[in-house]
Amino acid sequence: MTVMMPVEKVDRDNMRQMIIEMRGGSLSPQDHLALESCTAYASHLWVGYIGEKPACAWGLIPPTLLSDHAYLWLYTTPEIDIHKFTFIRTSQIVMEHMKSLYPAIYGVTDIHNTRAVRWLKWLGAKFYEPDGSRMKFIIGEFNG
C-alpha cells in the first residue's frame, strides 16, 4: 500500500509550532536558535504529512531578496524512516518546484550522515570536497 505524503506551504509561525510539536513539545536552547535561524530568513517553507501528522519540513533561505539561488534546510521525524520511498518521491517533486523558484540550491551536510548524503544524491546533488566533517553541495545549475 502506497502512503501519500501531501505537502503544503506554511508560514513561519506555523512552521515553528509544527517543528516544536514534531520534537515532542520542547527544544533545547541550541535547537531553538537553529529553528529561529532556519525560519526567520526563509522565503519558502513546506511541511510534508504522513496521514494527519507532520513528518518533515523543508525551507529555502536566499542570501538576498534578488538572489537566483537559496540554501536548503530539512527537518525529518522518525516517520520518514518508515515511509522512506514515499519521502524520496515527494522530495523529488518538491525539489523540482524549488528549482523553479531558485535555479541553484545550496547546502551543507555532515559527511557521516549517510542517510542525508544518500537523500541528496537522489535529488541530484553534486558535492564539493569535504571540509572536516562538513560537505557543501549544490542541486540545480552547475557553474563549475
User: Which pLDDT value is given to residue 123?
Assistant: 92
Q: Is residue 111 part of a domain?
A: yes
Query: For the ranges 101-105, 111-115, 127-131, which has the lowest average pLDDT?
Result: 111-115
Whole-number pLDDT of residue 142:
67
CATH of the domain at 109: 3.40.630.30
Question: What domain range is 105 assigned to?
Answer: 7-140
Q: Is residue 2 in a domain? A: no
Domain assignment present for residue 1? The answer is no
The closest alpha carbon to 44, from 66, 11, 22, belongs to 11
Mean pLDDT, residues 25-52 taken together: 90
DSSP E strand stretches across the chain: 7-9, 44-50, 53-61, 69-76, 104-110, 126-127, 134-140
Stretch 22-44: mean pLDDT: 90
The pLDDT assigned to 5 comes to 80
pLDDT confidence of residue 139: 96
Question: Above 60 in pLDDT, residue 97?
Answer: yes
- Encode pLDDT of 63-93 as tens digits: 998 899 999 999 988 888 899 889 988 999 9
Tell me what the mean pLDDT of segment 42-51 comes to.
93
pLDDT for the residue numbered 115: 86
Distance CA 23, CA 27 (A): 7
The count of structural domains within the chain is 1
Q: What is the pLDDT of residue 60?
A: 96
